[in-house]
């Protein structure tokens, strides 16, 4: 019952957000089918070695470009959609001047926020997980493999919904502070993008500290499964003899670590939002 109220209040944004993700997913599906049709059952690899495969590069390239563009949207969509849904709950209520009534009628403001935010957060998590699933299919289609390793892993794993939830909780807090939807949306997007970027810098440094040097002729570099190549903008530049790597076998460890960091940040932002809602005058 409570969940239905929370979802009903945000049905417009949720509906259109779902349509956006559904269209994106459909686009990714079409792209995967297009790539499969081009490659057929020739057993080509991503470097198109072999005379029969080499002739397909030009037909494959447009599909690959579209795939890259569509999955690239997953850098911005979770942040935009998360912030929009978060802001809509708090700022929307204050802007409509219905906060006075709903905060007074609710057993407590904490309860009000939980009833309104948790169902929307779950719905957001679900639709972004669907998009990440389709992005996984696209990565496998592009690389023609069943294990894409770390290739574009931040665009196709649980990190996609985790980024969305971070933006959602930031949106809740910023919406509660500003109390007007559109300005709050802008500020929340800026804060979410900055937080996500900050976390990425932190994670890059962590990767660099955990990676080990692998020579160019090491089988790990030529296994066909994509390891994570750690790099630092402050470093001395690429080494011609090898790379600093994290092997693909550690994929889940790193996804869970990064997901854990994003979840911690989301919990922090949610607590701040709760504090603001508790103290704010409606």
Partner 1 sequence: MGALRMAWKLQRWEITTLALVGAAIAVTMLVVGWRMESIQASAPHCWSYVDAVPQSVVNECAASFEEHSAASTIGSMAGAGAVLLPFVLGVVLGAPVVAREIESRTASMAWSVSRSRGRWLGFRTLPILAIVVFAIVVIGLSSLTLQRQLAGGEVGFGSLIPPIPLLVARGLLALAVGLVAGTVLGRTLPAVLVSALVLIALSIGLSLGLDAWMAGEAKPMDQLDGTTSKVYQSGLRDDATGELINLDEFLASEDADGMLEIPPPGMTMVHWQIPGSEYPVWMAREAGVIGGLAIVAGVAFVLTALRRRP
Which residues would be at the binding site for partner 1 (CB under 8 A)?
12-13, 15-17, 19-20, 23, 27, 51-52, 54-58, 66, 69, 73, 80-81, 84, 87-88, 92, 95-96, 178, 180-183, 185-187, 190, 233
Nearer to partner 1, 19 or 264 (CB): 19
Nearer to partner 1, 88 or 164 (CB): 88
- Residues 6 or more apart whose CB falls under 8 angstroms from that of 179 comprise 90, 91, 94, 95, 280
DSSP character at residue 34:
H
DSSP character at residue 248:
G
Counting Cα atoms < 13 Å in the Cβ hemisphere of 178 gives: 21
Cα–Cα dist 226/248, whole Å = 6
Q: Which helix (H) or strand (E) holds 242?
A: strand 242-246
Cα–Cα dist 10/120, whole Å = 8
Q: How many CB atoms lie within 10 A of CB 203?
A: 17
Nearer to partner 1, 161 or 227 (CB): 161
Q: How far is the CB of 42 from partner 1 (least distance, A)?
A: 11
Q: How far is the CB of 60 from partner 1 (least distance, A)?
A: 10
Nearer to partner 1, 181 or 196 (CB): 181
Q: How far is the CB of 62 from partner 1 (least distance, A)?
A: 8
Q: Using alpha carbons only, how large is the chain's radius of gyration in Å? A: 22
Cα–Cα dist 69/159, whole Å = 18
Q: How far is the CB of 87 from partner 1 (least distance, A)?
A: 7
Return the structure tokens found at 141: 């289609």
Return the structure tokens found at 105: 């009628």
Q: How far is the CB of 13 from partner 1 (least distance, A)?
A: 5
Q: How far is the CB of 238 from partner 1 (least distance, A)?
A: 12
Nearer to partner 1, 158 or 185 (CB): 185
Nearer to partner 1, 58 or 217 (CB): 58
Return the structure tokens found at 61: 């390239």
């Amino acid at each position: 019952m409570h969940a239905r109220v929370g979802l009903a209040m945000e049905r417009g944004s949720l509906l259109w957000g779902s349509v956006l993700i559904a269209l994106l997913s459909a686009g990714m599906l079409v792209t995967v089918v297009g790539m499969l049709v081009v490659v057929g059952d020739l057993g080509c690899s991503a470097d198109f070695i072999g005379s029969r495969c080499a002739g397909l590069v030009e037909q494959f390239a447009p599909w690959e470009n579209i795939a890259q563009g569509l999955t690239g949207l997953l850098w911005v969509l979770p942040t935009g959609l998360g912030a929009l849904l978060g802001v809509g709950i708090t700022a929307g209520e204050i802007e409509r001047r219905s906060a006075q009534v709903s905060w007074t009628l609710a057993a407590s403001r904490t309860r009000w926020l939980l009833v309104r935010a948790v169902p929307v957060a779950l719905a957001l998590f679900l639709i972004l997980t669907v998009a990440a699933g389709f992005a996984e299919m696209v990565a496998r289609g592009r690389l023609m493999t069943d294990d894409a390793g770390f290739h574009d892993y931040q665009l196709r794993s649980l990190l996609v919904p985790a980024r969305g939830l971070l933006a959602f909780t930031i949106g809740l807090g910023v919406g509660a502070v500003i109390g007007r939807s559109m300005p709050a949306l802008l500020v929340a997007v800026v804060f979410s993008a900055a937080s996500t970027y900050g976390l990425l810098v932190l994670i890059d440094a962590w990767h660099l500290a955990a990676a080990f040097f692998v020579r160019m002729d090491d089988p790990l570099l030529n296994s066909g499964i994509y390891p994570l190549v750690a790099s630092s903008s402050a470093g001395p530049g690429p080494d011609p003899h090898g790379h600093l790597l994290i092997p693909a076998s550690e994929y889940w460890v790193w996804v869970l670590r990064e997901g854990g960091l994003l979840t911690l940040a989301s919990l922090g932002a949610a607590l701040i939002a709760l504090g603001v809602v508790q103290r704010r005058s409606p």
